Structure 1
Amino acid sequence: MAAVDWVFLLAAALSLAFAVAHNHSGEIDTYHVSAGHLFVLRCLIADAHTNVTWSRGRRRNLSLPAGVEVRDGLLWFLPVQMSHNGSYTCEKRDETGLRMEFAVSVSSGECPDPSETRYITEGVSERLPCKQREIFGLNNTGIVRWMKDCHPVERQGEPISVEEEGFMRLPAASEEDAGKYTCLVDISLNGRKYTTARSIRLKIKKRDASTVFMEPEILFPQNEVIVVEVGTRVELKCLAYMGASEDNETLMFWTVDTTDSDDLDELSLSTKYTRDRGRVYCLSTLSISEVRHKFLNVPIRCYVRSPADEKVGLLRLQEADHSALYTSVALCLAASLTTLALAAAFHLFKVDLVLVYRKLLRSFSKQQAPDGKLYDAYVSFLRPDTLSSAGMASFALHILPEVLENQHGYSLYIRGRDDCPGEAVHDVISATLRQCRRLIIILSPEAKSSTHGGQEEEPLCDNQKQLCYEQKIGLYDALTQNDSRVILVEIGGPVDYSCLPESLRYIKRKQGSLEWKKPSPLCSNRNFWKNLRYHMPSVPAGRLQTVV
């Protein structure tokens, strides 16, 4: 079991033993107060999260007197009256049922009798506590006044000073400083002004002339800032030089925003002494079981106090700043979303972006036909011997060149328009195809393979061997060179590719086809022409172009 756990168990055992002793031995804590003052009584066996029941005397059925009420587990005397003199009992409302009894002794003077006695060695600087933790916890206290023997403190030499939470610092105590000291605090509560008072008896111990006290020194911390995560455990270290030997007169303790660490349930303290080259060092560790916001950005002080002097080390806890991490995550997320958006936009507007890029490229480029080829496309279609083939011929000989050549500056080779009678057909087709950057094959629903239906037929051409040959040459070049040089154009409706050669089916599966429909008020074929231009090569700079 860890040392901190032993400390907690020991504290719980002592608290329980303390309560039981009070229940059976008859010895109870006595608080001396003055009539007319405000007084707050805290149940010592309960913490901030425990419900308690208060009653007067040892009998549970005795109600509290007028002017005494319970607020947040504390017993408030608003204000103390002479009739409030007597005993009061608090009981924990849990399975333990522990009870504790207190005695309240009311006097008529302004300064009540002392509730405890403190000893200070002669010549030592020391602090006397105001012992009114609950009052200072209200954060609306006014003036804190200290009185000696119920008169304002007046002393020879260095005067007293009042520190945080009402501590009175008494420099270089002497025999004349012995006496009864009373801490009075003025407070405003619910529009009414009250005064609270607690007294302490101070006695001065004679100092051994042979004793020499060394001045302590805090080596760490020195105004440090420690970055922590809220909700986690943290250990704070304080290293101090104590002198040449360990002595009972030198103490180390912590405060958190002026509150003693012993008064905070989340804190525990451990101390370790080490010796190095005849010097004694003390390492005090303040453990915070769970960092809460109330511990952030408040002064946390480590004190080392000896009869010779007192030194203070200061540190603050600061919550870790995750803004840089959040910014990085936000930027990464924004970059990812932007990339996805750009990818989606490019996918949707790829055709338009490529066409715009080509147009801009032509505006700055002076290069003419860099590959040395004469034509941008070879147009292959079925000669007109049926109604369907007549439609293909009209598209190939008139509509296609009107848009691609006249409007966009492409150079097409259309067999039946650009070939010369008497030429060696196969040689001309082969040579011309190799001078073209694309092969446009126009298909219709009547297109069939040469072996369709078990009969030998000329593919796609109705005995026109030239068409069969030019498609075979063009498809062979496209497949062997692994270049998407073939553009399939369907007119007159969908084409049944199962009736066509495997090479055409492969081109269809790999890159798809373009569908041209007869123009109508509902169909302008605008997307068809944009996609056809996208599959066509870029028009070299310098050619005549007309913008649609």
Structure 2
Amino acid sequence: MNPGEKTCSNHPVSIIVFDVSHRRSLNLTYGKVKNTDKKKKVLCPDPVKDTCQTFTGTFTWYKDLQFLPGEHDVELWIDMATKKDEGIYTCMCTWTHNNREYNSSGSRELIVPEEVIHKDIQILTPTDKEQFADEGSSIKLNCSIFCGINAKSKCDASWLMNGKPVSQSKGYSQSTNMVIESPSKNTISTAILTIDKVSVEDFQAEFKCVGDGFFTQKITTLTLKQRESIIPLVIGGVCVLVLCALTVVLVKWFAIDLALFFRPYCQPSSPNKDSRVYDAYVVYQTHDMDKATEDMLSEFVTKALPCVLEDKAGYRLFLHGRDAIPGEDRLELVEEYIKKSRRLIVILTPGSESEIATTQTSAMEEFDWQVGLHHALVQRDMCVILIQLGETGPQGYTHLPPGLQHLIRKSPPLKWPKGSPDALSWKSRFWKRVRYLMPATPARKYAQSSVV
């Protein structure tokens, strides 16, 4: 080639035109800028830098397509970079050729790694030196350690059994897991030792939770302790409950016996100021009875009542056939005798249920009932003791006066056990209940003249 001659060469160039939506595509960047330096340097890609230097162009910088004012160097420096500074940085060169302006650009992705801080190992669990377990049961032992912030590289938790690593042998298995908490970024490593069936040897073994960190290692020792059986506690509790229930049943069953037993020791210290001289006024029906009922009533009134309540218990009863003075006006003196009595004993017989309401031939006997019930229900100055002789019959108590039916609903009558060995025994259940309803202290015994 002669001096001064010029040659031209053709170079094929492939031009690919991307849509504007690809401007932030990572595939179109010149690599990544990633290091742990606090001060980051982003270099303008070489093709753009060379073009700009050849044609003496001007540099401008963009972050995520946003213009960065004041940045016109080939290098972009970012002091104290944080996660907020991450993004795609674009270096653009504006240059002129043949009086025509051109733009050339290239991008790099800046990645700011999270801060990593390794700290001395802290064992979070176990916190106790002993852990209770049941022989034959399954148990999980948890070993958790704290390593620092984003400390992924060296943060290992594990278990040792009698100074040796726990192998994946039958009955034992160990699993590990690492977690970086959010938002604190604390790094926690956990090892879980699973014992499928706790044996006697496990209670004698020494388990160690080992934490390996970047700078330090820490170990804590854990032993298994046999949990005390709850069977003795359960048996003791059941025994206490049974004893309490038995005590309640016995107290309820023997409540009357206990009350009668302690009565003599619980008498008031002051003298009895009750001026009533009879402990009970006895009322009953005597008309229109069959022979059997009449004999039963006679036996109870003349024999059983006086024998038990008067002779053995020391009470004083008023019985019309025995205590009324001949010639007295009964209608005038009934109320006086009732006022002098502390209880009203009502004797119900198989024939008394209908006669009280239907018969008009026993006005005097019916008057006793009326006066006694008036004092018991209206004036409320005496208690009523209901005693049933024989069976009630199909009509029950429906034919009795309403006041007496009311008393029966409140307190069912006591049934005298005629014909049984307990009929005249003052220690029988029947007579104990009668004595329980009688006054605690028998009335003073006055001379017959003072009563009249």
What TM-score bracket applies, with the shorter chain setting the length?
Answer: 0.5 to 0.7
Matched, 1:267 2:164: no
Q: Match of 2:142?
A: 236
Q: Match of 2:374?
A: 476
Counterparts of 1:520 and 1:316 in 2: how far apart (Å)? 73
1:537 aligned to which of 430, 439, 447: 439
- AA aligned opposite 2:377: L
Matched, 1:303 2:200: no
Distance of aligned partners of 1:233 and 1:293 in 2 relative to their CA distance in 1, 3 Å threshold? closer
Question: What displacement does 1:443 show?
Answer: 3.3
Instruction: Give the match's secondary structure for 1:538.
Output: coil
> RMSD between aligned alpha carbons?
4.6
Question: What displacement does 1:296 show?
Answer: 4.7
The share of aligned pairs that are identical, in percent, is 24
Instruction: Give the match's secondary structure for 1:409.
Output: coil
Instruction: Give the match's secondary structure for 1:445.
Output: coil
TM-score by length of 2: 0.55
- 1:322-353 CA-to-partner distances (Å, cap 9, x unmatched) read 64x973x5555434323321232234333322
Instruction: Give the match's secondary structure for 2:311.
Output: helix
1:527 aligned to which of 404, 414, 429: 429
Matched, 1:224 2:129: yes
1:442 aligned to which of 308, 328, 347: 347
Q: Match of 2:391?
A: 494
Instruction: Give the match's secondary structure for 1:269.
Output: strand
Where does 1:290-369 land on structure 2 (aligned, <5 Å)? 292-294=197-199, 295-296=202-203, 298-304=205-211, 311-318=218-225, 320-321=227-228, 323=230, 327=233, 330=235, 332-362=237-267, 365-369=268-272
**Contact between 2:156 and 2:189, CA under 8 Å: does it hold in 1?**
no
TM-score by length of 1: 0.47
Counterparts of 1:402 and 1:343 in 2: how far apart (Å)? 34
Counterparts of 1:537 and 1:416 in 2: how far apart (Å)? 23
- AA aligned opposite 2:391: P
Q: Match of 1:512?
A: 412
Question: What displacement does 1:410 show?
Answer: 0.8
Question: What displacement does 1:384 show?
Answer: 8.0
Highest Rg: 1 or 2? 2
Distance of aligned partners of 1:373 and 1:298 in 2 relative to their CA distance in 1, 3 Å threshold? farther
- 1:81-126 CA-to-partner distances (Å, cap 9, x unmatched) read xxxxxxxxxxxxxxxxxxxxxxxxxxxxxxxxxxxxxxxxxxxxxx
- AA aligned opposite 2:350: P
Q: Match of 1:123?
A: none
**Contact between 2:120 and 2:147, CA under 8 Å: does it hold in 1?**
yes
1:429 aligned to which of 317, 334, 340: 334
Instruction: Give the match's secondary structure for 2:331.
Output: helix
- 1:440-481 CA-to-partner distances (Å, cap 9, x unmatched) read 1233333353487xxx523xxxx3422211111212333346
Where does 1:170-249 land on structure 2 (aligned, <5 Å)? 219=123, 224-227=129-132, 231=137, 234=140, 236-239=142-145
Question: What displacement does 1:254 show?
Answer: 2.4
Counterparts of 2:148 and 2:364 in 1: how far apart (Å)? 110
Counterparts of 1:246 and 1:495 in 2: how far apart (Å)? 94
**Contact between 2:344 and 2:382, CA under 8 Å: does it hold in 1?**
no
Distance of aligned partners of 1:509 and 1:237 in 2 relative to their CA distance in 1, 3 Å threshold? same
**Contact between 2:180 and 2:187, CA under 8 Å: does it hold in 1?**
yes
Question: What displacement does 1:217 show?
Answer: 5.8
- 1:508-541 CA-to-partner distances (Å, cap 9, x unmatched) read 4432223335557696553332232122221259
Instruction: Give the match's secondary structure for 1:401.
Output: helix
Distance of aligned partners of 1:535 and 1:311 in 2 relative to their CA distance in 1, 3 Å threshold? closer
Q: Match of 1:192?
A: none
Distance of aligned partners of 1:522 and 1:237 in 2 relative to their CA distance in 1, 3 Å threshold? closer
Question: What displacement does 1:268 show?
Answer: 0.6
- 1:369-395 CA-to-partner distances (Å, cap 9, x unmatched) read 355433211011345897554653454
Counterparts of 1:437 and 1:390 in 2: how far apart (Å)? 28
Question: What displacement does 1:321 show?
Answer: 4.8
Counterparts of 2:240 and 2:216 in 1: how far apart (Å)? 60
Counterparts of 1:243 and 1:515 in 2: how far apart (Å)? 89
Counterparts of 2:283 and 2:356 in 1: how far apart (Å)? 21
Question: What displacement does 1:543 show?
Answer: 8.0
Instruction: Give the match's secondary structure for 1:417.
Output: helix
**Contact between 1:441 and 1:487, CA under 8 Å: does it hold in 2?**
yes
Q: Match of 1:407?
A: 312
The number of equivalent residue pairs is 316
Matched, 1:457 2:372: no
Distance of aligned partners of 1:258 and 1:538 in 2 relative to their CA distance in 1, 3 Å threshold? same
List runs of 5+ in structure 1 lacking aligned partners.
1-213, 275-279
- AA aligned opposite 1:356: F
**Contact between 2:356 and 2:401, CA under 8 Å: does it hold in 1?**
no
**Contact between 2:307 and 2:424, CA under 8 Å: does it hold in 1?**
no
Instruction: Give the match's secondary structure for 1:449.
Output: helix
Instruction: Give the match's secondary structure for 1:313.
Output: strand
**Contact between 1:235 and 1:285, CA under 8 Å: does it hold in 2?**
no
Counterparts of 1:245 and 1:385 in 2: how far apart (Å)? 110
**Contact between 2:208 and 2:221, CA under 8 Å: does it hold in 1?**
yes
Counterparts of 1:312 and 1:519 in 2: how far apart (Å)? 89
List runs of 5+ in structure 2 lacking aligned partners.
1-117, 447-452
Counterparts of 1:251 and 1:504 in 2: how far apart (Å)? 90
Question: What displacement does 1:293 show?
Answer: 0.8
Instruction: Give the match's secondary structure for 1:355.
Output: helix
Question: What displacement does 1:431 show?
Answer: 2.9
Counterparts of 1:331 and 1:370 in 2: how far apart (Å)? 51
Counterparts of 1:537 and 1:402 in 2: how far apart (Å)? 17
